[in-house]
Amino acid sequence: MRKRFAKILATLGPASAAPDTMRLLHDVGVDAFRLNFSHGSHDDHLANITAIRNIEKETGRPIAIVADMQGPKLRVGEMGAGLELRYGDTVTLRQSEGPSDGDIVHTHPELTKILETGLVLKFDDGKLQVTMLNQTEARVDVPGRLKSRKGINVVNAVLPVSAMTDKDRVDLAFALDQGADWIALSFVQNAQDVLDARKIILAHPRGDKAGIIVKIEKPSAVEDLHSILSIADAAMVARGDLGVELPLEEVPVVQRKIIRKGRELGKPVIVATHMLESMIDAPTPTRAEASDVATAIYQGADCVMLSAETAVGRHPATAVAIMDRIITAAEGDPTLWEHFKHTELPHESSAEDAISRSIETIARTINAQAVFGYTRTGSTVHRIARERPPCRIIGLTPDLRTASQLALVWGTHPVVTEDPESFEAMLDHVRSIAADVGLKPGDRIMISAGVPFGVPGTTNTLKIDTV
């Protein structure tokens, strides 16, 4: 088992695509790998998936695969040598097939439908900014040179654009064919985007096994957060686009809000973007970056993510190892566990919630080293994990896909194993697994299960035992 509770998600790219490098990243701390479908071919992603599944077989440790869809990208058209936007000047925006000339910026066809007076547009990740004076003309507020194909962010507007493009549908079908555990949706603006994506995913023969991660990167998604997270399976705080479309000072507040809402609903939350950004080149992070990772852990994030640091960086394994050390140090602070203990969570009047809630209290009272949770769909383990018990969570499931998904869940060490035939057999079964995962004779443990075994949604038993 890992020595830490929060998980590490690493993005694959040219710097980490070699199978030996992937194995090294896993060994030093990666629990899940992200495939960024904005880059690379299907052949590239297939090679990565094959390597990851081989590592699973070699180590006996389930690994989560996150297929991150590109989503719609609003971009300016061809700009030739670029267009110099000068402060206070007026530029014209319109849809056109040809290259821009003079003071004309060619835009995405869907964007022209919502252009109106007062609307703020940002170009090139927020480096340039204009405010619409009418439906076609805009005043330059933040000057600079606008180059071809740079991205456009629309501030405080819901765009008439689906979160799933034609490219995404092709990529999604491929990812599901290859058994991706999680599908990350970009450009989610409201709950309907999630429902539409879920319908597409469930239409695929293997779609019922994949969880949906919503990337919260639009202000409208923040406003509709409860509805979105209620129907999604996990969330990602996509701070890159959030930082462009929201004032920078609001991003930390929104991050905390998303983490808290995810924990309330029992949905894992990943904090992403610029976590150890300087390690793309440098062998060590800045102190501010180390504090940023620790802050996510103190706030209760299930997982922290490395992007360019492992995809194209010069020190991918070192970045993972340092992130592992930062998480471990934060989790060694007793005040973190006091925060978890005093956080009020909503509970349903169900046996599952009663058991998961009591596990945290019992673990502290008897100094338990682990809780073993039998699960088929993973829901039992999710409910236990949201309570943040101060002990390891061993997720026992006969389904490899469920086990791989659980690799992304806080504090969980997934184990693929068959359900026991009886209560007595369960005790022998757990004691055998306890030895395999490194627990020692005399360690206090708990066992959460549903009797009869193998029936989803029947968690009704909690047993305290000793290894």
- The catalytic residues are 34, 75, 215, 273
CA distance 461 to 269: 28
Token duo for residue 320: 């993972």
Token duo for residue 260: 């808290």
CA distance 451 to 448: 10
* DSSP character at residue 114: T
Q: Are 98 and 108 in contact (CB under 8 A)?
A: no
The answer for residues whose C-beta is within 8 angstroms of residue 394's C-beta and 6 or more apart is 370, 371, 372, 373, 412, 413, 414, 415, 433, 434, 437
The three-class DSSP label of residue 449 is: strand
CA distance 317 to 63: 17
Task: Return the residue matching tokens 């765009």.
Answer: 159
Token duo for residue 436: 């395999």
CA distance 181 to 203: 16
CA distance 376 to 418: 10
Count of residues for the chain? 467
| Burial degree of 114 (CB within 10 A; 0-12, 13-18, 19+) | middle
The answer for residues whose C-beta is within 8 angstroms of residue 329's C-beta and 6 or more apart is 294
Helices (H), ranges, 60-147: none
Closest CA to 161 of 184, 138, 186: 186
In DSSP terms, which residues pair with 416 in a beta bridge? 397
